[in-house]
Structure 1
């Protein structure tokens, strides 16, 4: 009999188990080793027409691990990766874990201020960074000294073609600002040095930390979600179990994953980078999906793509490119929408053009990320975020902390083996987002129906979601308040055709000569692109409560 408190179980696709089994694995290292042993001659990654086999990935990541161990770092040391989707990301990510260390994923577009905060908060010992962004770290290197900086380039791992790529990037497109980091080593240099050292396999367990995945959580400044080996490993298997019915529709010798989303983001990290390894798949790496001409050309050359994870804004942008109409997806098995709310109009257009419905899922960095997802067997977009994945419970709680009836809105709360161990060095923040019985409070408002399907209604907090990335008004307001001439400020999200939402700032000037241009220039220096206000409104005052708290809600209602 189905437990009445878990109505979703009766609607599980045939063959999907109610629980998830991770027995046989002591850590993610075992999962990686299994792939290396099973598929040594298969291609693991493709980047700019260069292939890396599982055997080569095994060897390179082992050498990178040996190099890091030779630096004499403490077990569990944090190593930051600031890379787009290049071969070096996969090698470094696996190498860091194989060294017994913790991966700290960093958005490559971060400003010096944002990078400094994350490196200091995580107490990172080393940084792997693309040369295009090396100048950003250079600005703060004196304040955030690291044991080692490993600098790489877009072409470093792809031989002769790489030399051409680097020449164009550096000298024609001028995409590498001047930088100087004394004592740095190149990525190939690190691999070469590591090959001369012995790799000591660490005694890693499921309860060891694998990733510090930075997120705004549900409020405030960026926090490091502590994701254990158990969390990611479980979530990869949960995702695999849910994909399996869709994968059985067509026999494929090797699954091909399109990695257009950045793998430093938790969605692509789990659904592409690690799940791809688990399945012995080929990861087709897209370093810059915003180069739509190049991206569409890549899609045309890869009719073998089976798994396409994306976000609403990416699907929408492709649909608005005339050239995309000529792209065909004859082998697509699953198109997964996540990272932000899917719009029905976009999902319907996508299915009409590609023949593939978008199966929307839901999760957060704190849930590794997948908590709910639609079956890939759906015939059309559902408007729901699907059912809780195997071994996962979702409840909808009212303001009083009591579960609400089906069909009533409340906060989506999640319990399962993929839920984080807490926020790094922030016990109070952790306590605030967990219920006494172990449910993570998502901060999102949703409605669950009697079949266990959940629909997102709104966000509890004032978070703004720009192209799938969380923007927290507190952080933007803090930066705006540093501008000379700003008396008061408030930030909200407004609908935006390109990015889903955009940041809008309301400013009360102390100095009337302060201009919109000066504010935008300051934000460019201190905030990465998606966090910057796209609209600025000057006001004589801001609406407040009787104790002086600014009412963002009233600004939104305007």
Structure 2
């Protein structure tokens, strides 16, 4: 077993001339990437970053993200991901709770001044915010490299060290930081990449965001493990993706079902040769069988895999296998990751028979180490004998395939992003005219689900447009309710809990 930077350095030694990253003007082979990571790590060390320190990355998919992450991890520091859709307050909360020492970000992405969004927030542990990409693609990173520092000669991290903390929203409304180690990340994604048949000749267009396990771990980390080429994509546009697949001979491209639906419906699909695309994985929600069929027949993808995971399971719980039929891929999430255990249990934690519905529990090397500084939440989520309670409801058939039937957790998935109503409600209650609120999910043809807020207001003049406009300023866009219902009161039971099924 190794560390995440150790994987890079081993691949650089084995095949230094193989393409590692291509991103605009950036083009690095494995040898060059390894040298750049060592140089960058030397600079970060001189800036005071060391073992067990935490550093945040608030940036879109780009080459610099990968370099900074690997450099910090090579020093034994812990990387904290930050969603590029977050507003300043959301990012400040995570930076404060994780006590990040350094923040690496960008300026001008989607018209946003990311550093400026943190103005006015109290961040006593944050020593410096460093811009790693601005309008001129490489100049900001060149300025970072121009600082003092000697390239490192060894990795100051162990297999058992925490490599990253990814914050996941909870039903209480407070984000929780799931901690995973170098060793378990490598073990999970060695298994994952083997199962989907990735190899060193693959060219992977990483559409999923790096701040999420799907883009970071199932994305560029998987490429390092196999020695494949990484093609980061900062923003999704179906026409651009068709051009990129054809031009760059992309062979692997996981994504949410909506990604493939938009490609299939694009009027220019027939104008592009995308025959190089051979592997795709997609999310755990139920997928139309016809979509899987069209991904094979109309997009020409040889192998399509559906998978299921959560941040607390290092990104993977189960996945389909090569050769599974369309129906199985569309209606199940596959079988448990090899080497891990899965069981379906009732409300008392007792194991149920095949075909019976209950909560999905998983145990093995993919289970996180716990939540950052939250032993109570960790104990509620991981049993004393190591079972991770996923909060998802499902069944497992006699062949071991998993089907998700419901979510025990009060969660809405908007275009692939997890939204917890409690978190949105907590934010909306900061509005001076909102005295009570309940957020629920509603079906949506394009995004799968969207949120709807039921609001009790003290101001008769407050309208839907005003609430939505306020929400856009205070929370990530995917969390913003798509519709608002004003009510005189919310239905509650005898204990005061909102009866959301009545909304």
Specify the TM-score bucket, using the shorter chain as the normaliser.
over 0.9
Q: Which residue of 2 aligns with 1:274?
A: 221
Counterparts of 1:334 and 1:198, CA distance in 2: 37
What is the aligned partner in structure 1 of residue 130 from structure 2?
150
Which whole-Å CA distance do the structure 2 matches of 1:370 and 1:427 have between them?
23
Corresponding position of 2:143: 189
2:193 to 234, 240, 248: 240
Q: Secondary structure at the match of 1:308?
A: coil
Within the candidate set 536, 539, 544, 2:492 is matched to: 544
User: Could you say which residue in structure 2 is the equivalent of 1:286?
Assistant: 233
Is 1:100 aligned to 2:76, yes or no?
Answer: yes
Contact kept in structure 2, 1:131 and 1:151, CA below 8 Å: yes
Aligned to 2:116: 138
Check whether the contact 1:423–1:429 (CA below 8 A) recurs between aligned residues: yes
Indicate the SS of the match to 1:331. Answer: coil
State the 1:73 CA deviation. Answer: 3.3
Q: Aligned partners of 1:210, 1:123: CA distance in 2, in Å?
A: 15
How is 1:95-494 mapped onto 2 (pairs within 5 angstroms)? Answer: 95-132=71-108, 135-142=113-120, 143-145=122-124, 146-153=126-133, 156-157=136-137, 186-193=140-147, 196-199=149-152, 201-216=154-169, 220-244=173-197, 254-289=201-236, 291-302=237-248, 304-338=249-283, 340-356=285-301, 358-382=304-328, 383-494=331-442
CA distance in 1 between partners of 2:336 and 2:233 (Å): 30
Work out whether residues 481 and 489 of structure 1, in 8 Å CA contact, stay in contact via their aligned partners in 2: yes
* Shift of residue 138, structure 1, vs aligned partner: 2.5
From the superposition, tell whether residues 227 and 332 of structure 1 become closer, same or farther in structure 2 (CA, over 3 Å).
same
CA–CA distance in 1 between the matches of 2:186 and 2:54? 19
Q: Whole-Å Cα distance in 2 between the matches of residues 460 and 32 of structure 1?
A: 39
Distance (Å, rounded) in 2 between the aligned partners of 1:517 and 1:122: 35
1:203-231 alpha-carbon deviations (Å, 9 max, x no partner): 32122110001112566421110011122
Please give the alpha-carbon distance, in whole angstroms, between the structure 2 residues aligned to 1:187 and 1:473. Answer: 38
| Structure 2: gaps spanning 5 or more residues | none
TM-superposed CA distance for 1:132, in Å, is: 2.0
- Asked whether the 8 Å contact 1:66–1:199 carries over to 2, the reply is yes
522-531 or 68-77: which moved more? 68-77
Q: CA deviation at 1:72?
A: 2.0
TM-score (normalizing by structure 2): 0.94
Deviations 1:273-329 (Å, cap 9, x if unpaired)? Answer: 11101111111221111x333222212323x32222111121122222111243443
User: Post-superposition shift, 1:336?
Assistant: 0.7
Coordinate RMSD, CA, aligned: 2.0
Conservation of the 8 A alpha-carbon contact between 1:26 and 1:204: no
Q: 1:362 touches 1:372 (CA, 8 Å); kept in 2?
A: yes
3-state secondary structure, aligned to 1:462: coil
Q: 1:335 aligns to what SS in structure 2?
A: strand
Aligned length: 496
Q: CA deviation at 1:553?
A: 2.3
Q: Distance in 1 between matches of 2:450 and 2:175?
A: 19
- How far off is 1:121 after superposition? 1.1
Checking the alignment, whether the CA contact within 8 Å between 1:495 and 1:501 is kept in structure 2 is: yes
Query: What is the alpha-carbon distance in structure 2 between the residues aligned to residue 387 and residue 67 of structure 1?
Result: 44
Distance in 1 between residues matched to 2:241 and 2:251, nearest whole Å: 16
Tell me if the contact between 1:217 and 1:366 (Cα under 8 Å) persists in the aligned partners.
no
Secondary structure of the residue that 1:301 maps to in structure 2? helix
The 3 A distance-change label for structure 1 pair 74 and 41 is closer
Maintained 8 Å contact 1:219/1:463: no
User: Quick one: structure 1 residues 433 and 253, their matched pair in 2 at CA, closer, same or farther if it must change by over 3 Å?
Assistant: closer
Pairwise CA distance, 1:253: 6.5
Partner SS, residue 405 of structure 1: coil
Deviation readout 1:443-484 (Å, 9 max, x if unpaired): 111110011111110111210111111111111111111112
| Contact 1:334–1:376 (CA under 8 A) maintained in structure 2 | no
- Cα 1:87–1:29 change in 2 (3 A) is closer
The whole-number CA distance in structure 1 between the counterparts of 2:142 and 2:285 is: 37
The whole-number CA distance in structure 1 between the counterparts of 2:200 and 2:53 is 39
Q: Secondary structure at the match of 1:358?
A: strand
Q: 1:533 aligns with which of 469, 481, 494?
A: 481
Give 2:9's aligned residue: 33
Distance 1:537 1:388 in 2: 41
Instruction: Note the C-alpha offset of 1:489.
Output: 0.7
Partners of 2:167 and 2:284 lie apart in 1 by 15
